Amino acid sequence: MESRAEGRKGMLRLARSITGRRLARACLVAGCALFVLGVFSAAVWAQQPHPWQLGMQAPATPVKDRIHFLHNDILMPIITAITVFVFALLAYVMIRFHHRRHPVPRPITHNTVVEITWTVLPIIILLAIFFPSLRLMYYMDRAPDAEMTVKVTGKQWYWTYEYPDQGGLAFDSNLVEEKDLKPGQPRLLEVDNPLIVPVNTTVRVQVTGVPDGVIHSWFVPSFGVQEYAMPGRLNESWFRIEREGTYYGECNQICGINHSRMPIEIKAVSRGDFQQWLATAKKNAGLAPADSPKPDRDQQLAAAPPVGSGSPPAGN
């Protein structure tokens, strides 16, 4: 009995400590902190992650635009309304049913209106989220009239890019070691041979893995693209980059000891610059006309030029 009495006294002390001025000060500090973080996070949106970033990277494709719309215009208002309602309900309960104002609780065990409300309202909220999410999933699923195709193969631990409709041009993309970085190049994101694609072009991305490899994931946040590189399986996604620049991503599937050393770098250039780079890449890879014998793929991989050997692409 004494232990129960002490327990009740402890709960009462806790209730007193979190009410009144202390609760108001805590809410004020938390609100100010969230406001400051929100302001700074909006200022650092870019095509790669930044220290103290809060929120998603700025969209660079129509898919990511729709993801932002779903998150910012549908999910966030719903989440905010639920959060405000729950906090208001908690504050009301703590004040209205404080032990001094309400020393003897009433034995209410049933309320039909409340029970119907807390059953129907969550269903309505879920339906409001379900239909826009379903539309977005179908929009992301298939490339609408793709103008070119890029094949991505995940290996241990690097990526191989291939242009099937450009004579089979292919090259490996490896991490640039920290000691070899040039000023301005991001650590653990820079690669020796980035993927080069033209802007305002619908690109189909085919993602796979080598038969004797492990599962990887090709993830570019500013594109809204994430596809698993499964051994023996060909997955598909698409993107259409709306502005020139350099975009970064990473393998976000735990794939082994060098998982952190599989960055993705994509340079989006104008169509003219892309054709110029493509001609130089094909020439260096020794790609022959269609009626000539196809060169050895190892020679193509070794001869594919780094970006910048042709027309330098526009970047950050």
pLDDT in tens, 144-161: 789 999 999 999 999 999
- The correct CATH number of 148-303 out of 2.60.40.420, 1.25.40.10, 2.60.120.10, 3.40.50.720 is 2.60.40.420
133-146 pLDDT, tens per residue? 999 999 998 777 89
* Cα gap 2→210, rounded to integer Å: 68
Buried b (16+ CB within 10 A) or exposed e, 11-45: eeeeeeeeeeeeeeeeeeeeeeeeeeeeeeeeeee
* The 203-209 sheet, strands edge to edge: 169-173, 158-163, 148-155, 203-209, 235-239
- Domain positions in the chain are 2-103+113-141, 148-303
Find where tokens 């991305």 sit. 205
pLDDT tier for residue 17 given thresholds of 50, 70 and 90? low
Residue 298 pLDDT: 52
Q: Which residue's structure tokens are 């405000």?
A: 84
Q: Which of 59, 47, 58, 63 is nearest to 239 (CA)?
A: 63
CB-count exposure of residue 144 (10 Å: 0-12, 13-18, 19+): exposed
Task: Estimate to the nearest angstrom the gap between the alpha carbon of 45 and the chain centroid.
Answer: 13
Q: How far apart are CA 52 and CA 66, in angstroms?
A: 25
What pLDDT does residue 312 have? 41
Residues forming beta bridges with residue 231, ordered by sequence position: 209
Q: What residue spans of 148-198 are helical by DSSP H?
A: none
Q: Is the backbone of residue 283 left (phi > 0), alpha (psi -120 to 50) or beta?
A: alpha
Q: How many other C-beta atoms can be found within 10 angstroms of the C-beta atom of residue 270?
A: 15
User: 108 CB contacts (<8 Å, ≥6 apart)?
Assistant: none
The predicted model gives 176-195 an average pLDDT of: 92
Which stretches within the chain are classed as H helix?
2-17, 21-43, 62-69, 76-96, 112-141, 271-285, 297-303
pLDDT of residue 16: 53
Mean pLDDT of 293-302: 50
The type of residue at 176 is V
| Confidence at 28, pLDDT banded by 50, 70, 90 | low
pLDDT band, residue 314 (cuts 50/70/90) = very low
| Nearest Cα residue to 264 out of 254, 250, 244, 246 | 250
Per-residue pLDDT, 105 = 78
Assign 96 a pLDDT band (cuts: 50, 70, 90).
confident
**pTM of the entire structure?**
0.72
Q: What is the mean pLDDT of residues 103-107?
A: 79
